[in-house]
Amino acid sequence: MHLSLEDLIAVRDGEARADSARHAASCPECIAELSRLRSLREALAALPDEPPSRDLWPVVKARATAERQHRIWIRVGWVAAGLAAVFTLLIGVRGAIEAYVEAKVARQAQALIAESQRLEQELHASERQGRVMSGRTAGTVVQLEDRIAYLDSRLSRAEGERFPSQEILGLWQERVRLLDALVSVEATGTTYVGL
Amino acid sequence: MTAVTPTSFAVPVDEITVARARAGDEAALEALFRSFEAPVYSLARRLTRSTHDAEDVLQETFLEVVRSIHRFRGDGSLAGWIRKVAVSKALMKLRRRRGSAFEETLPEDLSDDDLALGPYGPATSAAERVDLETALGRLSDVARVVIWLHDVEGYSHDEIAAMAGKTASFSKSQLARAHARLRELLAPGVREEPCT
C-alpha cells in the first residue's frame, strides 16, 4: 500500500505522520514520487520573474497624489463643517443666553413698574389729604418731582430709541427710589432725603 | 514545513531607504517600487493569469504601500509585508472576476500533443519554461493559487486557508489535486495516482 499524493506532499514538507515517513523512506516507488514532487517545486521556483511591459510608477505616483489631495480636501471639508457647527452653536447659545437675560430683565422691570405704580397711588392718596408742609420740605418735594420728571423723559426716549434693557431697568430702579423718597417726604415732612 | 528556495521577494532593502519611504520621501518610495515591481507583477500574473489584472494588482499593491508604509513598524520583513499585500490584492481580483470565492472545478483536459515536458526537473530551457507556465495556466484558479503560494512562496496551509476563506484540509486537497493535474499535463503517460 503506497502513500497518497497528499501524504507524499506532507512527507516532502516534513509534516507527515511517523508511519508515512517510515514508508516513504523504504518504498522505491514513493521515493521516486517524492523526488518528482521536489523537482517540480524547484522547477516552479526557478521560473523567472517578469517585469511589467510598461513603467507603472508614474501611474502609481499620480494616483497616490490624487488620493492624498482628495484626503486633504475631505479633511478641509470636515474642518469647515466643524467650524460652521461651532459658529452656529455659539450663535444659538448666545441667543439663548440673551433671551434668558432679556426675560430676567423684563421680569425685574415689570416688578419695578408695579412698585412704581403702587408708590404713585400712595403719593396721590397723601396729596388728597392736603397736608401742610414747610418751605424747605416743599423745596425737597419739588426737587424730587423734577428728578422724576427728568427720569420719565429719559424713559420715554429710551423706549423709543430701543436702549439696552439693562439701562431701562436702571432708570426704573432710580424712579422707584425717587418715588419712595417722595412718599416718605410727603408722609413725614422730611426735608433731607440724601439725594 | 521544510524550507523552500527563497523567492524573488528576497530583495535586499536598506533600512535608510525604508525609513525615508516611511517619512514619505518620493525617491525612496520609487526605489522600493523598482525593487519589488518584478516580483509583485510576476506573482500577480501567475495567480491571475492576466497581464491586465497583474498590472492592476501591481498598482493597487504599491498604492497600499504608499498609503500605509508609515505604519510599517519594521518588526517583520518588508518584503513579506509587500508580498502579503500583493497576494491579498490578487485574490481579491480573482474573487471579483469569478464573482465568487474560487472556482473549484478543473478546466478541460489537454491533449497529449499540447504539452510534453517529460519527467519533472528544473525548467532550464525557454521551451520547458513555457510548457510549465502553460501547464500552470491550465489549472483551476484555486489549484494554481494553492500550489504557487504553498510550493513557491512558502505559505503554510493554515495561512492559505485564512487568506482564501477555506480550511487547511481544503488547501491540502487542492495542493494534491494541483500536483496530480500538473503531472498529467507535463508527463503524459505517468499514472495519475502514484501509490495505491
Q: Which of B109, B132, B134 has its CA nearest to residue B119?
A: B132
pLDDT in tens, B35-58: 999 999 999 999 999 999 999 999
What architecture (CATH level 2) is domain B13-100? Orthogonal Bundle (1.10)
Residue A72 forms contact with B (CB below 8 Å): no
Q: If you ran DSSP here, which 8-state letter would residue B110 be given?
A: P
Q: Where are the domains of chain B?
A: 13-100, 112-188
Q: Where are the domains of chain A?
A: 5-45, 75-188
ipTM score above 0.90: no
Residues of chain A positioned with their CB less than 8 A from the CB of B51: 52-53
| Per-residue pLDDT, B89 | 95
Grid coordinates given for B120: 519533472
Average pLDDT estimate for B167-183: 93
Q: If you ran DSSP here, which 8-state letter would residue B111 be given?
A: P
Q: Is there a contact between A44 and B196 if contact means CB atoms under 8 Å apart?
A: no
DSSP secondary structure of chain A = -PPPHHHHHHHHTT---HHHHHHHHH-HHHHHHHHHHHHHHHHHHTSPP---SS--HHHHHHHHHHHHHHHHHHHHHHHHHHHHHHHHHHHHHHHHHHHHHHHHHHHHHHHHHHHHHHHHHHHHHHHHTT----HHHHHHHHHHHHHHHHHHHHHHHHHHTT--HHHHHHHHHHHHHHHHHHHHHHHH--S----
pLDDT over 90 percentage in chain B: 57
Q: Is there a contact between A59 and B30 if contact means CB atoms under 8 Å apart?
A: no
| Per-residue pLDDT, B120 | 46
Residues of chain B positioned with their CB less than 8 A from the CB of A63: 59, 63
Q: Is there a contact between B195 and A64 if contact means CB atoms under 8 Å apart?
A: no
Residue B147 forms contact with A (CB below 8 Å): yes
pLDDT: is A87 or B128 the higher one? A87
| Per-residue pLDDT, A190 | 62
| Per-residue pLDDT, B34 | 95
Residues of chain A positioned with their CB less than 8 A from the CB of B125: none
Q: Is there a contact between B38 and A49 if contact means CB atoms under 8 Å apart?
A: yes
Average pLDDT estimate for B97-112: 49
What architecture (CATH level 2) is domain B112-188? Orthogonal Bundle (1.10)
Residues of chain B positioned with their CB less than 8 A from the CB of A6: 172-173, 175-176
Q: Is there a contact between A47 and B67 if contact means CB atoms under 8 Å apart?
A: no
Average pLDDT estimate for A58-65: 93
* pLDDT interval class at B64 (50, 70, 90): very high
pLDDT in tens, A3-54: 899 999 999 999 988 999 999 888 999 999 999 999 999 999 999 888 899 9
CB B14 within 8 A of CB B31: no
* pLDDT interval class at A186 (50, 70, 90): confident
Taking only residues 9 to 48 of chain B, the set having a beta carbon closer than 8 angstroms to any beta carbon of chain A reads 26, 30, 33-34, 37-39, 41-42, 45-46
Q: If you ran DSSP here, which 8-state letter would residue B72 be given?
A: -
